Amino acid sequence: MAFILATLPPQGDFIGTMIYLVENYYQIILYGLGVTILLSVVGTLGGFLLAMGVTQARLVEIDQKRDGLWQKFYKATFKRMAVTYVTVFRGTPMIVQAMIIYYGVASLGIFPWWSPLPAGLLIVTINTTAYISEVLRGGVSSVDPGQMEAARTLGLNRRQAMRHIVWPQAVKNALPGIGNEFVVNLKDTAVLSVISVVDLFYSVRQSASTNYRYIEAFMIAAILYLILTFVSSKVVDYLTKKLDTTSEVSQS
Span 93-115, pLDDT tens digits: 999 999 999 999 999 989 999 99
Domains of the chain, with CATH numbers? Answer: 27-244 (1.10.3720.10)
Q: Answer yes or no: is pLDDT of 63 > 90.
A: no
Q: Please check whether residue 235 is in contact with residue 155, taking contact to mean a CB–CB distance below 8 angstroms.
A: no
Instruction: Indicate the range of 54-58, 111-115, 161-165, 195-199 predicted with least confidence.
Output: 161-165
**pLDDT recorded at residue 166:** 86
Please tell me the pTM assigned to this model: 0.87
Please give the Cα distance from 55 to 58 (Å, whole number).
5
| CB-based burial, 23-61: b 16+ in 10 Å, e otherwise | ebbeeebeebbebbbbbbebbbebbbebbbebbbbbbee
Higher pLDDT, 155 or 87: 87
**pLDDT recorded at residue 10:** 77
Q: Answer yes or no: is pLDDT of 73 > 90.
A: no
Please give the Cα distance from 188 to 199 (Å, whole number).
11
The band of 251, judged by pLDDT with boundaries at 50, 70 and 90, is low
Identify the top-confidence range among 59-68, 78-87, 163-172, 242-251. Answer: 78-87
Please give the Cα distance from 13 to 2 (Å, whole number).
20
**pLDDT recorded at residue 1:** 39
Please give the Cα distance from 34 to 221 (Å, whole number).
13
Please give the Cα distance from 109 to 161 (Å, whole number).
45
Q: Answer yes or no: is pLDDT of 25 > 60.
A: yes
**pLDDT recorded at residue 206:** 92
**pLDDT recorded at residue 4:** 45
Instruction: Indicate the range of 26-30, 53-57, 65-69, 104-108 predicted with least confidence.
Output: 65-69
**pLDDT recorded at residue 5:** 47
**pLDDT recorded at residue 2:** 40
